[in-house]
Structure 1
């Protein structure tokens, strides 16, 4: 189904499923408009830890449609900025 730009169903937003990820949801957040995962706390004291975060994508259609996905975030080396190659974005 093709939806024209600007309809409620065409606007996808994101949020953390707090029920599925209560601990990780207190450490990470998701930008509502972009879906970008951001940290709420300094992770320098959490080396070699994997966090699991359930993110919900939803629209404002009638009825509202949503989907969930599990995002796993592993802190490998604190205080280091990750660098991703184009190959990792496939």
Structure 2
């Protein structure tokens, strides 16, 4: 992945406000050519101890992606006031931008 695109991805993730979420695809659409998979890869490659709000990035289906950090992600989102419906989806109104 090009350094410029990776920087764009990380800048967008840093801008997601507390209490809001966005999808891999929405982030990709805000860059100069990244795909949703590239966004996921950039998140996977973050170093330990980083400060980016990675947990605010969810799938386009409004559910958490299936990964090892999903339980922590759910907990952090709930701590920010984000609720999940019975099917595990986040309300569309919580999506940014």
TM-score by length of 1: 0.27
Instruction: Report the structure, 1 or 2, having the larger strand content.
Output: 1
Q: Which has the higher contact order (CA 8 A, sep 6+)?
A: 2
**Structure with the bigger percentage of helix:** 2
